Amino acid sequence: MPRFHHANLGVPPGLEEVEGAFLVDVLGYRRMEVPADLASIARWYEATDGSQIHLSIDPDHRPAARAHTAIEVDDDVAVLETRLTAAGITFRSAGRGDLTVLFCADPAGNRWELRRPAGIPAAG
């Protein structure tokens, strides 16, 4: 049975720390140690469920027009909206049945779909 392990996203040189702050401060990932041979070109982040986001520093990075990373979030939507706004990240919100979805782009221009099903307890 397949299980999700990680997504690898490109970031232009010089944006890796800002991108990392988005992952940690806005989305709640924690930074991981990277093997020494990758330290100059990669950053790794992990969620509490063990899934990861890897960042590859890419001088030719071009964000995809439609491709995106979708994650479920435990945080209350209002809290997440506040964090996005404080980070200067624009977003749009949509409702789909009992689901609230926030769409945004991270500092490197990678697209995200932040999903919050109704009825799950907020983190905290």
CA 19 to chain centre: 9
pLDDT of amino acid 63: 95
pLDDT of amino acid 123: 59
pLDDT of amino acid 106: 97
Once rounded to an integer, what is the mean pLDDT over residues 45-62? 97
pLDDT of amino acid 108: 97
Nearest CA to 50 out of 14, 4, 95 is that of 4
> 120: pLDDT confidence band, cut at 50, 70 and 90?
low
Phi-psi region for residue 84, left (φ > 0), alpha (ψ -120 to 50) or beta?
alpha
Pairwise CA distance, residues 111 & 4, whole Å: 18
* pTM of this structure: 0.90
Task: Examine the pLDDT at 55 and tell me if it is beyond 60.
Answer: yes
Give tens-digit pLDDT for 71-117.
999 989 999 999 999 999 999 999 878 999 999 999 999 999 999 98
Task: Examine the pLDDT at 124 and tell me if it is beyond 60.
Answer: no
Task: Examine the pLDDT at 26 and tell me if it is beyond 90.
Answer: yes
Once rounded to an integer, what is the mean pLDDT over residues 45-59? 97
Pairwise CA distance, residues 15 & 60, whole Å: 13
